[in-house]
Amino acid sequence: MMTVVTHVRLKTGCEPDWDAAMRERLSAAQERPGWIGGQLLIPLDGHNKRTVIGTWASRADWEAWHEDSTFAETRARMDGLQEGRSEMVWYEVVTEGRA
């Protein structure tokens, strides 16, 4: 199992549109093979910052998701709402705990 953590800075005023596109993307990802779960986070110290956490069975599943039409459509909408490049880090999940 792999988790990818992505940090993004948004253009001021674009937050609602970016969040809506990300919600659509996360909803569509639920139908993809290998999808385990995800979160969209807003840090308390920056309302124009976002952290996206996605967990997949494999990185190959995540890469296949990038070929999906919903992913491509939301990416086109979201790219113009971001400031600079996003920062992405991959993690291998060693253990997981949930209620």
Give tens-digit pLDDT for 41-54. Answer: 999 998 999 999 99
CA distance 22 to 82: 12
The confidence score (pLDDT) of residue 71 equals 87
C-beta separation of 88 from 53 below 8 A: no
Residue 64: what are its φ and ψ, rounded to 5°?
Answer: -65, -35
Domain 2-92, classified CATH 3.30.70.100, yes or no: yes
Question: Tell me, what's the pLDDT at 15?
Answer: 95
Q: How far apart are CA 15 and CA 9, in angstroms?
A: 9
Q: What is the pLDDT of residue 8?
A: 96
Quote the pLDDT of residue 6: 96
Instruction: Return d(Cα 65, Cα 70) in angstroms, integer.
Output: 9
Cβ neighbours of residue 31 under 8 Å, at least 6 residues apart? none
Q: What is the pLDDT of residue 68?
A: 85
Low-confidence ranges of the chain (pLDDT < 70): none
Q: Rounded to 5 degrees, what are φ and ψ at 20?
A: -65, -45
